[in-house]
Chain A
Amino acid sequence: MIRAEAISKSFGKLNVLREISVQLEAGRVVAVIGPNGSGKTTFIKTLLGMVVPDRGRVLFTNQAITKQHTYRSQIGYMPQIGHYPANLKIKQLFEMMIDIRNDATMQLDEDLVAAFQLKALFEKPLGTLSGGTKQKVSAALAFLFNPSVLILDEPTAGLDPLSSEVLKDKIQKESQKGKLILITSHVMSDLDELATDVLYLQDGSVQFYKTIAELKLETGESKLGRVIAQLMSKIPQMS
């Protein structure tokens, strides 16, 4: 579904991505993990066209995404921190998004809007919302248009346990529909429940990209947290 072909990116002298080549298939839930500053967010931003790689290219359903924007109608993106115009009401933000992606045939997926009871807050300005509520808004927006790819940057950070479960159930439900889901997170237990594959980045390069079953078999551990800890200790630290 998405293919990265040897993408490299540097900011000044810092090589953030080095020759990353991966193939992300529909129906998979890929956990993108790695230490802080390993290039996870830059990698995700490259897929979304927010960061333009110095070398290499990204293909979305076999089309290069360079200078394209229509392919993004098939992607739902949930940013790490949602900062919205402070004086806009939640309702207006939703109206705007629907306006932008207007497509008469589209069926809106309002599961999360209902589950997070956002309708009750619709008249509130976004500037007055708590961090967790903003996170709920971001999540509801990412799923709203039934995209075939979901990119979730730290989705459960800042959510209360109940909402976090709601979101995880939703992610599972969508992945069963054959969507490609990319998650970055530092919460290994969440990823253990959700992910089918692990893409491990360190210092901008792919250390390994394997299914969770494979990894567990290789290391003999039963929990993803332990698996990653064991593998991390074997990888030579570059910095």
Chain B
Amino acid sequence: MNKITKYVLYDIIRNRFVMGYTLLLLAISMSFFSFESDPNKGLLSLLNIILMVVPLVSIIFSTIHFYNSYEFIELMSAQPLSRKAIFLSEYMGVATSLSLAFLVGVGLPTLAFGGGESSLILIMSGFLLTLSFVSLAFLASVITRDKAKGIGLALVIWFYFSLVYDGLVLSILFSFNDYPLEKAMLVLTALNPTDLARIMVLMKMDISALMGFTGAVFQDFFSTNYGLLVAMFILMSWVVLPITIACRIFQRKDL
């Protein structure tokens, strides 16, 4: 399988867009850490940017890349390789290159200037977020053969998880605020990878007091190692599930 991955990776790493993405992340991280005297504040600002930029770039780049590689994937499927191997190699190539961009652009500066446990959680969750949105992108790409529709679908997924979902959760909170919703909130958070990543970092930063009563419940749950592990596990299923479904579809698909 890694026979193809190696070359896909080799191709993408020299792609100008990925280089630009790395430099952009690097510039953002560096500026936040140099403007803020308190590294924790820098980390918080960085978190907000990452939660928007990383999913967007991951999902759009991966979708476009998949459609542009279509003829190449066709040629690969004329070789003695199983569909699964071809698909997962493509995934590995794209996911590895975008993760590398993230780790260089955000990981290195955060480790250098931030430090501490919350930085590690930030890097970890950003990394998993990258993988999960690449997964979602591959799912969007196998659903339709049309490039424009695929990119549209990818954008809708991003919009939904980054903007629409929070609005929905808020409206649920307002409509049912007579009921104890804390447990329900935990579940709702798990259903959105971006929220999950956000909560994981926030809880490590000890600012849950800002989040009212729900914050206290979250704090109880997520600040324990057990809660953190569960969150990490759910975030990982956001990586594994979409790509597994996508792979199933791809195996039966007509190229």
A-side residues, CB < 8 A to B, are 9, 11, 45, 48-52, 69-73, 75, 77, 79, 81-88, 92-93, 95-97, 99-101, 151
Q: Are B80 and A92 in contact (CB under 8 A)?
A: no
> Is A70 a contact of B78 with CB atoms below 8 Å?
no
Query: In terms of DSSP, what is the predominant structure of the interface of chain B?
Result: helix
Question: Whole-angstrom distance from the CB of A7 to the nearest CB of chain B?
Answer: 13
How many angstroms between the C-alpha atoms of A101 and B71 in the bound complex? 19
Closest 6 CB pairs of A and B: A83-B71, A85-B11, A77-B78, A73-B80, A87-B14, A50-B255
The answer to whether A72 and B254 touch across the interface, beta carbons within 8 angstroms, is: no
A92 to B11, CA, bound (A): 10
CB–CB B78/A50 < 8 A: yes
In the bound complex, residues from chain A placing their C-beta under 8 Å from that of B68 are 83
Also in contact, A79 and B77, with CB within 8 A (given A86-B11, A92-B7, A92-B10): no
| A residues in contact with B3, CB < 8 Å | 96, 99-100
Q: Can you name the residue of chain A whose Cβ is closest to the Cβ of B77?
A: A50
List 4 extra interface pairs beyond A50-B74, A50-B255, A87-B11, CB under 8 A. Answer: A11-B254, A73-B80, A79-B74, A84-B72
- The total of chain B residues at the interface (CB under 8 A) is 28
Whether B71 contacts A79 by the Cβ 8 Å rule is yes
Contacts of A84 in B (CB 8 A): 71-72, 75
**Would you mind naming 15 contact pairs between A and B with Cβ atoms under 8 Å apart?**
A9-B254, A48-B77, A50-B77, A52-B252, A69-B82, A72-B80, A77-B75, A79-B75, A83-B72, A86-B11, A87-B12, A87-B15, A88-B7, A96-B4, A101-B79
Within residues 77 to 95 of chain B, which ones have a CB less than 8 A from any CB in chain A? 77-83
**Residues of chain B contacted by A92 (CB below 8 angstroms):** 7, 10
Indicate if the CB atoms of A96 and B71 lie closer than 8 Å: no
* Shortest beta-carbon distance from B35 to chain A in Å: 35
Interface centre among B6, B76, B79 (most CB of A within 10 A): B79
Query: Distance (Å) between the CB of A79 and the closest chain B CB?
Result: 6
A79 to B72, CA, bound (A): 10
User: Which of B71, B80, B255 is within 8 Å of A51, CB to CB?
Assistant: B255
Alpha-carbon separation in the docked complex, A83 to B255 (Å) = 15
Given contacts A50-B74, A84-B72, contact A100 B10 (CB under 8 A): no
Instruction: Kindly provide the distance from the CB of A200 to the nearest chain B CB, expressed in whole angstroms.
Output: 24
Chain B CB within 10 Å — which of A82, A93, A100, A101 has the most? A100
Q: Closest residue to A46 on the B side, CB-wise?
A: B254
Complex alpha-carbon distance, A151 and B75, angstroms: 12
Q: Is the CB of B71 within 8 A of A82?
A: yes
Q: Which of B100-123 contact A (CB under 8 A)?
A: none
Q: List the B side residues contacting A97 at CB < 8 Å.
A: 79
Instruction: List A contacts of B10 (CB < 8 A).
Output: 87-88, 92
- Closest Cβ–Cβ distance, residue B89 to chain A (whole Å): 10
Flag if B8 contacts A82 (CB, 8 Å).
Answer: no
**Residues of B contacting A48 in the complex (Cβ-Cβ under 8 angstroms):** 77-78
Q: Which residues of A contact B83 (CB under 8 A)?
A: 69
B69 at the A/B interface (Cβ < 8 Å)? yes
CA of A52 to CA of B72, assembled, Å: 19
- A116 to B80 CA separation, bound complex (whole angstroms): 26
Could you tell me if B7 and A51 are in contact, using CB atoms closer than 8 angstroms? no
Point out the residue from B69, B74, B254 that lies within 8 Å of A85, measured CB to CB.
B69
